[in-house]
Structure 1
Amino acid sequence: MRVFSCLVEDHNLYLTALAAVICVLGAVIMARLYRKVRASRRRMRWSWLFLGAVAGGATIWCTHFVAMMAYRPGVEITYAPFLTGISLLVAIVGCGLAMAMGSQRHRLSPEAGGVTFGLTVAAMHYVGMAAFTADALVIWSPVYVAASLIAAVVFGALAFAQVRNTVSGLKTYIAPGLLVLAIVSLHFTGMGAMTILPLAPVEGAVTGDVASALLAVGVAVVGFLILGVAIASHALEDQTSRDSNSRLYQLIEGSVDGMLVESEGVILIGNAAFAGLCGVPVDDLVGQPLERWLDEEARSADGMLVQGALTASDGEAIPVEVAVRAARRDDGAGHYRIFAVRDLRARLAQERRIVHLARNDSLTGLPNRVSFLEEMERRVAQSGGQQFALFAIDLNRFKEVNDVYGHGVGDRLLIHVADRMMTTRTEGDFVARLGGDEFMALTPVTSRLHAMEAAERLRSAIMEPMQADHADVQCGAAIGIALWPDDAREASVLINNADLAMYRAKAALATDVCFYEEAMDEAVRDRRRLTQGLREALDNDRFELHYQVQASLSTGKATGFEALLRWKQPDGSYIPPDQFIPLAEETGLILPIGEWVLRAACVEAASWAVPHRIAVNLSPVQLSHIDLPRLVHQILIETGLKPERLELEITETAMIAEMERTTHILRQLKLLGVSVAMDDFGTGYSSLSTLRAFPFDKIKLDRSFMSELEGSQQSKAIIRAVLALGESLDIPVLAEGVETRTQLEFLRAQGCDEVQGYLLGRPSRDGQNNTDAQADLTVDAAEASQAA
């Protein structure tokens, strides 16, 4: 009742109402600025903090002194100017400190800031009251003073805590109301704590009309200060908002993806890319609900990539990828979400194309090897014992088309063949291209006759001519047929069997279609196993070199050794060279094998105590390799073998194939100091032009003449002719295959220079120890010399 009576009886109600209006307006401005301080980043926070401190301090001070102007204690009132100014400074500094504390990130920071605000209101009030003097004795009630402090602190803490909560509507005015209660409750409770007893006037104080005028001017100035702060905060907020919107617009407009900014479900900004997806102008996007364009799944993206759909203006559903990022405005006015929307149509189409290319041939569009194997496994798993046929198809004369018309026409022919096979297929047929001119087909059949009819249908489709460059281009087909489950119980075996039948059809002259037959295709299977074995033998060092002695008939002494390649099997047996050497030449393995033989022979010869010559056979494939002289030179350097101790043997057939090129290579070898011998002379062309084209160091007479020597006069005549030819050309002749004394005596009588064969010694891994036959030959040579 004391506070109430002070308000009603001792105050001018009009001025009191004016103080209340100033307090309310200032509290609204202060609460708004405090929210800005809490929401702003560091760069903008100081600006908002300064304006909030000025607005809050001015509100407290102006409310207090307008209420003091309304106060009528019944005595002359005076004010000390210095303390009055200090009270304003205390209010501003205290409000700034309260806002700074309340904007920290600690959980209780708002309450701490509210307590500081309450203490600030109390400090300003009582400093202002210290500037208040009158011709009376002023008595204070401690209870009322304490009550005013408690009210200011409690309401201040509640007000600052309320600002921490995100509210909207009328609830936003709860914090300003609590601030008003903090200020008003302290002022009027503090005024109720004061009792005035009249006394004599105070000298030196500003009194009467002068004091009232000065106070009115001060209140007006501070009131305009509050108005200025409100205008400044509005201008700053507007500028900050424009800057924020400008940065957002620049950000989203510079993106190649569709981007938009949304707040509370409404589009604020959209870029041209997003407008293009929607099919509307950019200006038409602003203000529209987001759900008009994006479905629920796309709108619900929260910090992750999601796939959704965008509904264009024409109703088309466009697949999109959406990423969303939540952010707050620089001015702390609220939060918004930035949507990045990427059109997935091109990517999905590319993914479909990649999947198609992964499973289909890029040229013909037919299923590729992957698809074929999957289909094969599926049919095998679902066959249930039902028969189907696998066709392995290889085009005939396709290489000729490429060579004559070019690869462009060849590609068109492959497309034509694929289209024809797809056109003529029946229900259940599956056709795939495995690569090059190789195709595979699957079809359900009931008998071998049915399978043959299907194969003929495919062959007829393939042989359909294609018009190209004013000519009919055509190719044939070799087709191998394997039947499930008659020919195999596994998919891989069935494919292999069909391939075997196809290779047999390709080699056959009478037919282009062959069924798999185990007995007839076993040779091809053995050939494949032999090829694989060659590779493994080369990788695992399973080859051996055996050495056969070569001796002079005139002296009986060994002149050298020929290195012979042997392939030892795990059971201790050997595969004859005439079985695996031709296969190595066909597969290209002869090059690494020949290099191994040459290097191993040179290493062995370099270790011999007696410097005998080592002879190594060269394959025609090796001889055609332009890098052969460099390889020989490198091996001689690595092994330390002298070039004159190495003799390379070549066949006449190898020279005839490419005479000019081969002669060039042989001359390079001769320049290294290596000797070159013509092997198997008499079995090939035996052209004298070959001997004339290159100065061979030796002629080796083929072993076939020795085996027919005793029963054939023609063989004797040929041997005499070759020996006479060698003598005329001054080229030594070595006879191979000498196995009997009769053959040896005949060769000695005819003037042969050197011999080689089982009579002298069988090939062994250590040629230097093969000396028994050489000793016998030395004795024979001595006896022949004495007889002469």
Structure 2
Amino acid sequence: MSSSGDIVAAPQKKSSIYTVEQFFNEADTHISDTEHTRYLGALHNDRQGFATYKHKGQEYLISLTPMDMGNFSTTDHSRWYLSLAVPYELVASRARVKILQTTGFSLALLAIIGALSFAFYRSNQQKRQELQQAYEEIQSLYRTIPTPIIRFRMEDGGIVLSDNRSFANLVGCPHETYQHRFRFFTKPAFIERIWALPDGSHQMEMLIRGYGKKYIWHLAFLEITTKPEGREVLCVLANISQQRAKLSEVTLVSQTDALTGLTNRRGIQEQLEPLFVSESTQGALLIMDLNNFKQVNDKFGHQAGDTVLASFADMLVETLPKTSFISRYGGDEFVVFLPNVNREQTCELAGKIKEELAKQFPLFVKTCQFGVSFGSVFFPDDGKDWDTLFAKVDDILYENKRLNKMGQH
């Protein structure tokens, strides 16, 4: 390269001025290739740099500093470099003195830091031991608590992360054998409901498949947390099968007619309302009223009347399709929903009911002119909800009863 300045105060020849090329090419001066490249790089970029070299067997440290010498009219160069060469031994000896001065202070400082670190370590170690002991106690409680607990990740069908002994006893197999998926122990509908829940605490009733593949009702307390790995769920289960059984029994009693054993007014309405929401549902809503039933009570007594109502209910169960919803709506009125039947089939079933009534109660039919009147509407053609359908079928029933009394129906 060509220099843009000269070296001042070169070693051994303090009054001499060397160009860079002259300095590096002098026979007694040796600089390594690495130092040479780094030094020339500094020259190129006008930066301060350092290099070590040997001159006549002695090592030197040279520093390079760019200087603006543009005001010298005797030169064509706009940039000069001031370089200071110092024997390396001098630098090393000064450095040793400085190091010795700072070593004592450093050692003392390190001793203080070491003492503080040791005290901090002992304190942390004691805290770690306390935390480890608390963690082991929690783990022991988690494993032995009689309440089933399971922690799973929602993704990929509910990957089981941990469980306790009570959960393993509930499902009848240890953790290692459950294929590590919570979905194997409950129904898909419950997994979908959990997915729909936001983070936080929730509770829901859930069927858990226990030992012997029998599903058992549990109340699940859920703590849902979204983490980078996915949504984690801590699930604590409480067996509520007995409570559910009692509730079902109470519900069954409240929805059952005591005399006939059929569903009562409340029961039939609660059974049909969910069906009317489905677009796939179709069928006939049929209402029946026993004609002159009051005369049966008046002539033969209320016990005979109760026998007639119970027998008529049994006859409906035997005559109508197994898929029918049959209820005693109140008094001598019966309501039936016949799924997937048309008008012609509904008329045929009504005819069978009249025939069976005449066979079973000939005395009452003859002495009291005992019989039955019908009203029928069709879902969804005549209405898409319970209130609309029942209002229409009730009107049709009473119109037919009026015509029956006039002998026109």
Using structure 2 for the length normalisation, give the TM-score: 0.41
Structure with greater strand share of residues: 2
Which protein has the larger Cα radius of gyration, Structure 1 or Structure 2? 1
Structure with greater helix share of residues: 1
Using structure 1 for the length normalisation, give the TM-score: 0.25
